[in-house]
Amino acid sequence: MHYDASGKGIGISSLWRDVTKRKYTIQVLVLVGVVVLFSVLINIASDSLQKQNIASGFGFLAREAAFEIGETLTSYSAESTFGEALLAGLLNTMLVALLGNFLAVIWGAVVGITSLSHNLLLARLARIYVDTLRNIPLLLQLFFWYALITEFLPAIRDALNPVPNVYLSQRGMFFPMPEWGATHGWALVALLVGGIAAIFLYRWQKLRQQHTGQLFPFYRVAAALLLVPPLLAWLIGGAPVELDVPVLQGFNFEGGLALTPEFLALSLGLVLYTGSFNAEIVRAGIESVKKGQKEAAVSLGLSRSQALRLVVLPQAVRVIIPPMTSQMLNLTKNSSLAVAIGYPDLVNVANTSMNQTGQAIECIVIIVFVYLSFSLMTSAFMNWYNHMTRLVER
């Protein structure tokens, strides 16, 4: 028998028969298995790379890219390096992700609250919207919006002109932009100062309320703080009203702000699709707050809007935020579908670089690294948020 007096296993077989030792055996075996698997794979890969004469490593990032990118936020040209191309792609991804998430959260909140409306017709219409969009692949929706813009909007010569100086055509959307000047810079500084003042005001009024119970009309004063200083700065600067207006020159519009069909289709598709998921989250969050909470608040003498703002929403938000952040992450990841309609996001640019250089592993590593850091930052935020809003029990 391989057991000693205390019932502990001895000998080789005890590595498996003894429950405590078995745990270590399993872990060592699994770890060894994983290490062996990876080293075999890496060996094979470096062999096949050598045979195909592909130099592994990130040296290619400094080489000339020699391809154009449709739209960039940086001064990129075909002479720039692969590194700069990937940076331009990354910035495009971030632009779509920030704008898309901002709009998708607002849109989701609007639709989610609408689907709880006392007006049955309104609620039903919101439900139909949510059920339809959630059950159709995002890729198909992107193709649909892209086709709608590029095939069914008029050609650039007959561009729609719904509002003066705003044009809508199959080449995209064109807006006027204020002519940038020093005054606008000062207005921006004033806005920043107003914002910081508002934050301090918030803390002060909260402390005062805790000590004395006196209420302070914070939202009205804060709105004034945010609006008045920039407006004053703008007026003092002579109230410049020059606009950079899009003008049809040759085959395209010059000046103003241009949004390409790819950008429009991608943003629209992402916002409407993710918005339908966000709507469900908001609806479920509000429904999760027990009816008694609202009734108790009203019977304490709070008004309906106070009950909603001070009692119902803070509890709903606790339920809403975690799934909402994961939807924000989904939107960011889904923005990689840009590759299908030709918007130059990170994945699209990396795909082009991959085809041109054959550096498949490196390009995929870059994609994985970027998205992984987005999601790690988000989960770090989530942990912090959960810690901040945890229920403090007695």
Partner 1 sequence: MTGVARNRVLDWIKTNLFSSPFNIVLTFLLLFVATKLLWNFLDWAVLRAVWGGDAETCRHGAGGACWAYVRDKARYVLFGHYPYEQQWRPQLFVAIFFLLSLLTQFKRFWSKYLTAAWVVLPLGAAGLMWGGFFGLTHVEMEEWGGLPLTLALAFLGISASYPIGIVLALARRSEMPVIRALSVIYIEVIRGVPLISMLFMAAVMFPLFLPEGITISKVVRAQVAIIMFASAYMAEVVRGGLQSLAKGQYEAADAIGLSYTKKMVFVVLPQALKAVIAPTVNTFIGLFKDTSLVFIISLSDLMFTTQASLQDADWLGFTVEGYIFAAFVYFVFCYFISFSSSRLEKELKV
Which residues lie near partner 1 (CB under 8 A)?
23, 26-27, 30-31, 34, 41, 44-45, 47-49, 118-122, 125, 131-132, 134-140, 143-144, 147-148, 151-152, 333-334, 336-337, 339-340, 347, 351, 354, 360-361, 364, 367-368, 371-372, 374-376, 379
Nearest approach in angstroms of CB 167 to partner 1 is 23
Taking the chain, what is the end-to-end CA distance rounded to the nearest angstrom?
Answer: 55
Tokens representing residue 74 in the block: 């940086």
Residue 134 or 304 having the CB closest to partner 1: 134
Q: Quick one: 211 exposed, middle or buried, by C-beta within 10 A (0-12, 13-18, 19+)? A: exposed
Of 26 and 223, the one with the shorter C-beta distance to partner 1 is: 26
Q: Buried (b) or exposed (e) across 306-335, using 16+ Cβ within 10 A? A: ebbeebbeebbebbbbebbbebbbbbbebb
**Which of 258/338 has CB closer to partner 1?**
338
Please say which residue, 15 or 364, places its beta carbon nearer to partner 1: 364
Min dist CB 119 to partner 1, Å, is 5
> Measured from the CB of residue 381, what is the shortest distance to partner 1 in angstroms?
14
Nearer to partner 1, 135 or 214 (CB): 135
- Whole-number Å distance between alpha carbons of 291 and 42: 59
Measure the CA–CA gap between 371 and 340, rounded to whole angstroms.
18
Closest CA to 336 of 328, 347, 344: 347
**82-114 helix and 261-288 helix, angle to the nearest 10 degrees:** 40
Minimum distance, C-beta of residue 24 to partner 1, in the bound complex (Å): 8
At 173, which amino acid appears? M
Which of 124/208 has CB closer to partner 1? 124
Report the residue number, 49 or 113, with the smaller CB distance to partner 1.
49
The minimum distance between CB 45 and partner 1, in angstroms, equals 5
Q: Which residue do the tokens 């002519």 mark?
A: 179
Distance set, CA 220 to CA 201, 224, 255, 307 (Å)? 12, 6, 37, 19
Calpha distance 355→59 (Å, rounded): 16
Nearest CB to partner 1, comparing residues 46 and 161: 46
Contact call for residues 66 and 78 (beta carbons, < 8 A) = yes
Q: For tokens 């929706």, name the residue.
A: 141
Is-contact 64 85, C-beta < 8 A?
A: no
Q: At its nearest, how many Å lie between partner 1 and the CB of residue 324?
A: 16
For residue 10, give Cα distances in angstroms to 7, 20, 21, 309, 337: 9, 12, 10, 66, 58
Q: Return the number of the residue (84 or 280) whose C-beta is nearest partner 1.
A: 280
Q: How far is the CB of 169 from partner 1 (least distance, A)?
A: 17
Cα separation, 312 vs 289, whole angstroms? 6
